[in-house]
Amino acid sequence: MSFQINHIAFSYENRPVIRDISLEIEPGYFYGILGPNGCGKSTTIDLLMGHRKPGAGTITYKGRDLFKYPRRELAREMALVPQNFYINFPFTGREIVVMGRYPHMPRFSAPSAKDLAVADTIMERTGTAAFKERYMTEMSGGERQRVVFARALVQETPVLMLDEATSNLDVNHTLKLMDIVSEDVRNRGRTVIAVIQDINLAATYCDRLILMKDGYVAAFGKTGDVLNTENIRSVFGVDSHVWFDTWSESKKVSFKRNNG
């Protein structure tokens, strides 16, 4: 088991945001978290990353209390592509990507030849090599997001968490990065937990879906089982048509305008 989440709850000051969530996350699957704005998706990711501590309940990772892991050890286990990444210091793309190797480097030492080689390989693989010498402050939003994605990949962690990590990307770059990630799930047993707003993108890549609403898990299971008109209506409050598309070999969801 990767994560065992047992009746967790979390509040920002007095406002409950995560009410009661229990889940088991198995290694080697691509999990998608879907749900309306403000339902607690990013907070759940923060809790799983150990960035915030639940007010009630427990989270264990690989059988051990998540909060007993030293930070550096945890950084070798899980990487995050955050929803927002602000930086005003003029680091180059390569410097940012190499930062992903810090958890593997002895303290206060420079990156080794291996660290630089891993960074360069992943920059090639993710199509970000063109940004090696470019300052982050001089990149477009999508270019920055791709570099931050590459930084998380060079961390070479068993678990990768994506918080709307392709929200600024065009369809080509979205598919390229999602293909890389899902290849790692298939071939290297990586576990991916991704907050995704685009239901069809989630349907294309995720093995399992966690549908959240108001701080609860409304539905959890195999994508093919969870993705249906009833669940989409109950979580998002909209009508949809859901079918299996043989071309993409995945379920698809379509919506129609309500004022026509």
Ligand X SMILES: Nc1ncnc2c1ncn2[C@@H]1O[C@H](COP(=O)(O)OP(=O)(O)OP(=O)(O)O)[C@@H](O)[C@H]1O
Contact call for residue 37 and ligand X (CB under 6 A): yes
The residue within the footprint of ligand X, chosen from 4, 6, 42, 58 (CB under 6 A), is 42
In whole angstroms, give the CA distance from residue 154 to residue 107.
Answer: 18
Interface pattern 195-224 for ligand X (x via CB under 6 A): ------------------------------
Position 39 contacts ligand X (CB under 6 A):
yes
Q: How far apart are CA 200 and CA 222, in angstroms?
A: 15
Choice from 1, 38, 68, 138 touching ligand X (CB under 6 A): 38
The helix or strand, by DSSP H or E, that contains position 19, with its residue range, turns out to be strand 15-25
**Separation CA 113–CA 110 (nearest Å):** 10
Among 43, 128, 191, 240, binds ligand X (CB under 6 A): 43
User: What x/- string results for residues 5 through 24 when contact with ligand X is judged by CB under 6 A?
Assistant: -------x----x-------
Which amino acid is it at 81?
V
- As measured in angstroms, the least distance from the Cβ of 212 to ligand X is 7
For 125-145, give the DSSP string.
HTT-GGGSSSBGGGS-HHHHH
Question: Would you state the torsion angle of the CA atoms of residues 146, 148, 154, 158, taken in this order, to the nearest 10 degrees?
Answer: -100
Residue (41 or 151) nearer to ligand X, CB: 41
Cβ proximity to ligand X: between 80 and 154 the closer is: 80
Exactly one of 31, 41, 154, 157 binds ligand X (CB under 6 A); that residue is: 41
* CA geometry: angle 81, 84, 90, nearest 5 deg: 95
- Cα 187 to chain centroid distance, Å, stands at 18
Q: According to the binding rule CB under 6 A, does residue 141 interact with ligand X?
A: no
For ligand X, the closer of residues 35 and 158 by Cβ is 35
The nearest distance, CB 83 to ligand X, in angstroms, is 6
Segment lying near ligand X (by CB under 6 A), choices 40-48, 66-74, 108-116, 185-193: 40-48
Closest separation in Å from C-beta 239 to ligand X:
21
DSSP 150-193: HHHHHT--SEEEEESTTTT--HHHHHHHHHHHHHHHHHH--EEE
Q: How many residues bind ligand X (CB under 6 A)?
A: 10
C-beta atoms surrounding 56 within 10 Å: 13
Residue 12 or 244 having the CB closest to ligand X: 12
Which residues, at least 6 apart from 164, have a Cβ–Cβ distance to it below 8 Å? 83, 195, 196, 197
| Nearer to ligand X among residue 43 and residue 166 (C-beta) | 43
Cβ atoms 219, 34 nearer than 8 A: no
Asked if residue 84 binds ligand X (CB under 6 A), the reply is no
**40 counts as binding ligand X under rule CB under 6 A:** yes
Q: Which residues bind ligand X (CB under 6 A)?
A: 12, 17, 35, 37-43
